[in-house]
Structure 1
Amino acid sequence: MLRNLTLTLLAASALSACTLAPPHERPALPVATTWPTASANGSSVSAGDLAWKQVFEDPRLAGTIELALANNRDLRVAVLNIDKARATYRVQRADLLPGVNASLSETRSHTPAATSQTGSALEVEAYSAGIGVTSYEVDLFGRVRSLSNVALQSYLSTTETARATQISLIAETANAWLTLAADQDLLSLAKDTLKSRENSLALTQRQFDAGAVSQLDLRASQTLAETARSDVATYSAQVEQDKNALRLLAGTDVPTDLLPAGGLITAQILSDLPAGVPSDVLTRRPDVIAAEHDLMGAEANIGAARAAFFPQISLTGSYGSASADLGDLFKSGTKSWSFAPSISLPIFAGGANKANLDGAKASQKIAVATYEKTVQTAFREVSDALATQATIGDRLAAQERLAAAAADTARLTKLRYDRGVDSSLTLLDAQRTQYSAQQGLITARLARASNLVTLYKVLGGGAPKA
C-alpha cells in the first residue's frame, strides 16, 4: 500500500507541471528609442555597468557611503523585507509537495456494566502508529503552482525594490556629503568676507570720526559687514544641519576623518557618466524590473483564478500499525492503511469564481499600466538629468569667468579708491558683486556634482544584486 501511495503521489506531481496562466510577454517600451538630449559620453555602456566606487572616487566620500550601507535603517528594513518575502514564497511553494506526518497515538476507554452489551464493565486500550498524507491537492490545473509563482514574483520584486533602495541611499548620501562640503565652502567664504569687511568698517569708522567720509559711507560699510555676519550665522547652522542629515543617512556618527576636507573643489568624483541606450538602461533599472515582476505575479493570479473553474482533487492516505497492546504494535498482523481520494467540482458559487477571474484580469491590466508608467517616469528622470548635464558645463564656466571678472573689478576699484578716483560706495558695490559671484560659483560647482550623482541614480546605478 505504501508503495502504491508513493507512486500515486509521484504521478500526481508529474501531472501538475502546467498552469493556466497566460504566457508572459514584456510590454513594448512606451518611450522613444533615443534620449531627447544626447549624452556627452557616447559610450554604449551605461552607469549601471559601473560600481559605485568607480563613480565616487573620493576616499572620504566612499567611506561615508560604506558606513551608510552598513548602518542605514531604511536599507536594513528593505533587506529584511527580502527575507520575509523569501519565507512567504517557501511556505507557498511547500504546497506543491505532499506533507507527510508521522503519528503515534494511544486510546483508552471504559464502559460501565450498566451500558455494556455484555453486562460487564469493559476496559479497552488501542495503540496505533503510522505515517500519512493529509489533503494533498493534485495540482492538475496549476492552481497551487500559480499561487506559488505569485509568491515567487513578489519575492523577486521585493529584492529589486531593495536594490533601488540601496542605489537611492548611495545617491542621497553622496548628495548630503557634497552639500556639506559646499556649505563649508560658503561658511569659509562668509568668514573671510566678514573679516575683510570688519577691517574695512573699522577704517571707515576712523575716517568718519575724522570727518573724512560721510555717514552714508559709514552705514554702507556697516550694511556689508552685518550682511556677512548674518551669512556666517546662517551657514554655521546649515553646516550643522548637513552633518545631522548625513548622520541620519549613515545610521551612526560619521567620523571626522570621513567628513569633507578642503572644500567641494577638492572632492573627487567621476567627471562624466555614460548614459547608454534607453532600451538597455530602462529595462535594467531595479524599479522597472520590480514592476515587471509585479506584472508576472498578476499573470500568475489569472492562472489561479482560471484553475478555480476546474475540479480539485485531494489525496488523503495513511499506512501504519494498530494493536490493542503496545508491545504487539509492530508485530505481524497489525498492519493498517487507508486511502481516501476526493474530488470537488464547482457547480454553483454565486458568480464568485467569475468575479475572481475578472478581478485578476483587471489587476493584470493595472500592472501593465504601472509598468509602462514606471518606464516613462524613468525615461523622464534620465532625460532631465541629461538636459542638465548638457548645460551645466557652460553654466560653471560662465560662473568661473564671472567670479574672476568680479574679483578683478574689485581689485581695480580698490586701486582707484585709494587714489581718490572712485568713491567708497563704488568700492563697496564692487566688493558686494565679488562676494555674490563667489557664492554663485560654489553653488554651480555643487549643481554639477549633484547632477553626476543624479545621473548615477537614474541610470540604474552600479549596486550589486541583493
Structure 2
Amino acid sequence: MTSRYLLPTPSLTRLALGALALSLGGCGLFGPDRNPPQIASPEHYSVEGQAAQLPAADGVAQRLDVGAQPVPQWWKAYRSDALNALIEEGFANSPSLAATQHTLNAAREGLRSEIGNSLFPSVDVGFAPSRQRALGIPILPSQETFLYNIFDAQVQASYTFDFFGAALLADRALAGQVQQQSLQFDAARRALAANIVVTTVNIASLNEQVHATEKLVELGEQRAQQTAARYTLGGASHDDALSAEQDAANAAATLPAMRAQWLAMRHAQAVLIGRTPDKAPEPLTLDELHLPDDVPVAVPSELLHQRPDILAAEAAVRAAADQAGAATAAMFPSLSLSASYGRGGFDWTTFTSPAGLVWSMGASLTQPLFHGGALVARKHQYEQSYEAAVAQYKQTVLSAFQTVANTLVSLDEDANTLTQTHRAMDAAQGMTRDTDAKYKLGATPFYATLSADQQYQSARVQYLRARAQRLADTATLFDSMGSPPVDDAGHSLRDTIKRDAPASVSERASAASAM
C-alpha cells in the first residue's frame, strides 16, 4: 500500500504536465522583447564612401572584397611562418586568455548546476542513528531519566512546479550570460592575435628606424665636426657651426626615446605570448611581413552577425530581458511537492520490521503578498538593466561601424602617405648619388654629401613609419570584421541562440548536458 503513494498517480501526472505547460508558456508572458533593437545599417561605412580598390603603393594595390566572408585565421595572410608561430604561442600561453577561458568554463558549470536544480526534483538519502538521554514525563510518579536509541533512514524528494516560468526564465538568462562570456572569449582571442601582429609590425619598423636614426646621428656628428673645422679655417660662419651643432644634438636626442620605445614594444610582445620580458623573441624585419592583397569587408548589415562584441551585446540584451521576466514571474504563485519514504525505530529490530516503515507526502502553495516592496523593486531593477543593455548594444554597433569606417579611411590614406614617403626617399637617394658623384669629381665639398645622406636617412625613417602603419591598419581591419563564431561541431552560434523557451523538458535537459 505504501508503494501506491510513492509512484505517480494519473492525476499527479496530469498535474505535473499541466504545470510544465504553464511554465513553458509563461516564458512568453513576462519580460520585455528579447530581440535587440533594430538599427538602420548605413549603405557604406565612411561619410565619403569607399572604393573597392585602394591606391597602389610600394608595388601593392590592396583590393577590398566587399561582401566576402571574413577570414578566421587572417594573420596567415601576412605569409610569415615566424608571425604564425608567435600567435600560436600566444594562444597557448597567454595568462589573460587562459583566465578568460577558465572563467567561461566556470560559468558553464554554474549554468549546468542551476538547470539541474530547477529542472529535476531533488532526491536525498539520509541515515541518522542517535543515542539520547531524556527526562521523564513530570506527571508520572517516577522522575527518572530514559536512555534510548533512535534509528532513522529516509529518502526525501521535493519538486517545485514552475507555473509561470520564473525558474526557466532565470535559467535562460544565465544561459545568455554564459553565451555572452563565450563571445567575449572569442573577441579576446581575436584581439590577442591583432595585438601580436601590430606589436610585431611596430617592433620591425622601430628596429629599422633605430638603425636609420643611428646613421643619421653619425652623419650629423660628422657634419658638425666638418662645419666646426671650416669655421676654424674661415670657410664657414659661426652661425653655420652652431646650427650644425644644434642639428646634430637634436638628432641624437631622438635616439634614446626611440630605443626605449623599441625595447618596450619587445617587452610587450613577450608578455602577450606568455613569456617574461627578458625572453622576448628576436625581431622580424618588415620584409618578412607581406602586405595582404585582398581584405574582406562585410556590408554593414552583415557586420552585426560577425563581430563577437556585437553578438555578445545582443546576448546581453536577451539575458537582461529574461531576468526582467523572471523577476515578474516570481511575483506569482508557486507550488512545491515533497515526499519521503524510509524506516525508523528505537531499536534495530523495530527499524528492520514492517512496523518501522515511515513515509510522508505534502504540498505547499505559496503566493507572495507583502515583501516590503522588494519584489516590485527587483522587477524595476532588472527592467532598468534591460534598458541599459539595449543602450549598450546600440553603442556597440555604432562603435563597430566607426572603427571600420576609420580603418578604411586610414588604409586609403596610408597608401597615399606611403607613396609620397617612398617618392621622397627615392628623391633623397638620388640626390645622395648625385652629390657623391660631384664630390668625387671635386665639384662639391664633402660636407655636402653628409647633408644629402642626412636627408636620405630622414626620408627613410618616414617611409618605414608609413609602411608599418599600412601593415598595422590592415590587421585592424581584418580584426574589425570579426567572424561568425562556431561551436565544437562547426555550426554557427547564430543558429544555436535560443530566442524562445525550450519546447520540452528533453530540450531543456539536453541544453544542461551540452553546456
If the length of structure 1 is used for normalisation, what is the TM-score? Answer: 0.88
> Which of 436, 446, 457 matches 1:435?
457
Moved more, 101-110 or 113-122: 113-122
CA distance, structure 1, for counterparts of residue 459 and residue 330 of structure 2: 71
CA 1:359–1:430 in 2, change beyond 3 Å: closer, same or farther?
Answer: same
Residue matched to 2:114: 92
Tell me whether 403-412 or 36-45 shows the greater mean CA deviation.
Answer: 36-45
Q: Which is further off, 293-302 or 203-212?
A: 203-212
**SS state of the match for residue 129, structure 1?**
strand
State the secondary structure of the residue aligned to 1:274: strand
Deviation at 1:387, TM superposition (A): 1.3
Gap change, CA 1:114 and 1:355, over 3 Å in 2: closer
Partner of residue 327 from structure 2, selected from 297, 305, 309: 305
User: Which of 20, 25, 50 is 1:14 aligned to?
Assistant: 20
Q: AA paired with 1:386?
A: L
Q: For the Cα contact (< 8 Å) 1:95–1:144, is it kept in 2?
A: no
Aligned to 1:390: 412
What residue number does 2:377 align with? Answer: 355
Does residue 251 (structure 1) correspond to residue 261 (structure 2)? The answer is no
Letter in 1 for 2:16: A
- Deviation for aligned residue 1:184: 0.4
Q: Is the aligned partner of 1:268 residue 2:290?
A: yes
Mapping for residues 117-132 of structure 1, pairs under 5 Å: 117=140, 119=142, 121-132=145-156
Is there any run of 5+ residues in structure 2 with no aligned partner, and where?
Answer: 54-63, 489-515
> Against the structure 1 CA distance between its residues 333 and 242, is the aligned structure 2 distance closer, same or farther, given a 3 Å change threshold?
same
Please report how far the alpha carbon of residue 370 of structure 1 lies from its aligned counterpart in structure 2 after TM superposition: 1.2
CA distance in 2 between partners of 1:396 and 1:113 (Å):
101
1:146 match: 169
In structure 2, give the amino acid aligned to 1:31.
S
The answer for the alignment partner of 1:32 in structure 2 is 42
Which residue of the other structure, out of 342, 357, 367, is the alignment partner of 2:389?
367
CA contact (8 A) 1:61 1:260 kept: no
Kindly provide the CA deviation profile for residues 420-465 of structure 1, in whole angstroms up to 9, marking residues without a partner as x: 6667776665444323211110110011011011112211168876
Q: Compared with structure 1, are the counterparts of its residues 359 and 207 closer, same or farther at alpha carbon in structure 2 (3 Å cutoff)? A: closer
- Whichever residue aligns with residue 17 of structure 1, its letter is L
Instruction: Check conservation: 2:83, 2:197, Cα contact below 8 A.
Output: yes
Q: Within 1, Cα distance between the matches of 2:382 and 2:135?
A: 60
What's the counterpart of residue 364 of structure 2? 342
Distance 1:255 1:221 in 2: 39
C-alpha deviation, 1:218, in angstroms: 4.7
Secondary structure of 1:42 counterpart: strand
**CA displacement, residues 96-121 of structure 1 (integer Å, 9 cap, x when unaligned):** 12111001112433345573737365
Cα deviation, residue 333, structure 1 = 3.4
Within 5 Å, which residues of 2 pair with 1:56-455? 56-96=78-118, 97-112=120-135, 115=138, 117=140, 119=142, 121-134=145-158, 136-198=159-221, 218-253=241-276, 258-261=281-284, 263-416=285-438, 430-455=452-477
State the Cα RMSD in Å. Answer: 3.1
Over 3 Å counting, the alpha-carbon distance change for 1:139 and 1:99 in structure 2 is same
C-alpha separation between the residues in 1 aligned to 2:386 and 2:132? 58
CA shift for structure 1 position 343 = 0.7
Kept in 2, the 8 Å contact 1:322–1:335? The answer is: yes
Tell me if the contact between 1:321 and 1:330 (Cα under 8 Å) persists in the aligned partners: yes
Quote the Cα distance in structure 2 between the aligned partners of 1:385 and 1:6: 67
Q: Secondary structure at the residue paired with 1:260?
A: coil
Q: CA deviation at 1:192?
A: 3.0
Residues 91-145 of structure 1, C-alpha deviation per residue, up to 9 Å, x if partnerless? 32222121110011124333455737373653333212111024x3211111111
Q: Is the 8 A contact 1:26 1:292 kept in 2?
A: yes
Are the counterparts in 2 of residues 302 and 361 from structure 1 also a CA contact under 8 Å?
A: yes
Letter in 2 for 1:14: L
CA distance in 1, matches of 2:368, 2:280: 70
Q: Distance in 2 between matches of 1:444 and 1:425?
A: 29
In structure 1, C-alpha distance between the alignment counterparts of 2:338 and 2:157, rounded to whole Å: 5
Q: Deviations over 1:270-293 (max 9, x none)?
A: 233111211222222111111111
Post-superposition CA distance 1:165-223 (Å, at most 9, x none): 11111111111111111110001112333444555556556656665555555555544
Counterpart residue identity of residue 230, structure 1? A
Task: Give how far 1:269 is off.
Answer: 4.7
The answer (yes or no) to whether the contact 1:46–1:459 under 8 Å persists in 2 is no
CA distance in 2, matches of 1:277, 1:76: 33
Q: Write the deviation string for residues 72-102 of structure 1: whole angstroms up to 9, x where unpaired.
A: 2221221121022123212322221211100
**Following the alignment from structure 1 to structure 2, what is the Cα–Cα distance between the partners of residues 33 and 62?**
35
Q: Cα deviation per residue 1:277-320 (whole Å; 9 max; x = unaligned)?
A: 11222222111111111111111112212212311111222111
Structure 2: distance between partners of 1:372 and 1:3 = 58
Is this contact kept in 2: 1:21–1:301, CA < 8 A? no
Residues 168 and 457 in structure 1, CA contact (< 8 A), matched pair in contact too: yes
State, as a whole percentage, how many aligned pairs show the same letter: 23
Kept in 2, the 8 Å contact 1:163–1:286? The answer is yes
1:404 Cα deviation from its structure 2 partner: 0.3
Give the Cα–Cα distance (whole angstroms) in 2 for the partners of residues 420 and 216 of structure 1.
Answer: 26
Moved more, 171-180 or 246-255: 246-255
Aligned length in residues = 463
Pairwise CA distance, 1:371: 0.9
Q: CA deviation at 1:35?
A: 2.6
Relative to 1, partners in 2 of residues 1:365 and 1:214: Cα closer, same or farther, differing over 3 Å?
Answer: closer
* TM-score under structure 2 length normalisation: 0.80
> Which secondary structure state, in structure 1, belongs to the residue aligned with residue 344 of structure 2?
strand
Gaps of 5+ in 1: none
CA distance in 2, matches of 1:420, 1:3: 119
Name the CA distance, whole Å, in 1 between partners of 2:460 and 2:403. 30
Aligned equivalents of 2:483, 2:261: Cα separation in 1:
29
Kept after mapping to 2: 8 A contact 1:316/1:339: yes
